[in-house]
Amino acid sequence: MTTSAEDRTLILLRHADPEPGRAGQDDRERPLSEHGRNQAADVGRWLREQGLGCDEVMCSPSLRTRETMQELAAAGCPEAEVQIEHRLYNADADDVLSVIRGSTNDASILLVVGHAPGLPAAASLLADGEGSEEAHERLSGGFPPAAAAVLRFSGHWDDLDFGAAALDDFRSP
Is 37 a domain residue?
yes
Phi-psi label, residue 24: left if phi above 0, alpha if psi -120 to 50, beta otherwise: left
Is 76 a domain residue?
yes
Is 15 a domain residue?
no
Is 13 a domain residue?
no
Is 6 a domain residue?
no
Is the CB of residue 36 less than 8 Å from the CB of residue 83?
A: no
Is 95 a domain residue?
yes
CA nearest to 52, candidates 164, 141, 151: 151
Is 110 a domain residue?
yes
Is 16 a domain residue?
no
CA distance 19 to 37: 11
Q: Which domain does 140 fall in, by range?
A: 30-171
Is the CB of residue 50 less than 8 Å from the CB of residue 149?
A: no
pTM of the predicted model, to two decimals? 0.93
CA distance 116 to 57: 18
CA distance 64 to 132: 30
* CA 153 to each of CA 65, 100, 101, 132, 162: distance values in angstroms, whole numbers, following the listed order: 25, 12, 12, 14, 11
CA nearest to 55, candidates 80, 83, 82, 84: 80
Q: What is the CATH number of the domain that holds 165?
A: 3.40.50.1240
Buried b (16+ CB within 10 A) or exposed e, 80-109: bebeebebbbebebebbbebbeebeeebbb
- Domain tally, the chain: 1
pLDDT 10s digit of each residue in the chain, 173 long?
Answer: 444 448 999 999 999 999 998 888 888 999 999 999 999 999 999 999 999 988 999 999 999 999 999 999 888 876 778 899 999 999 999 999 999 999 998 899 999 999 999 999 999 999 987 888 999 898 888 999 999 999 999 999 999 999 999 999 999 98
CA nearest to 65, candidates 96, 88, 81: 88
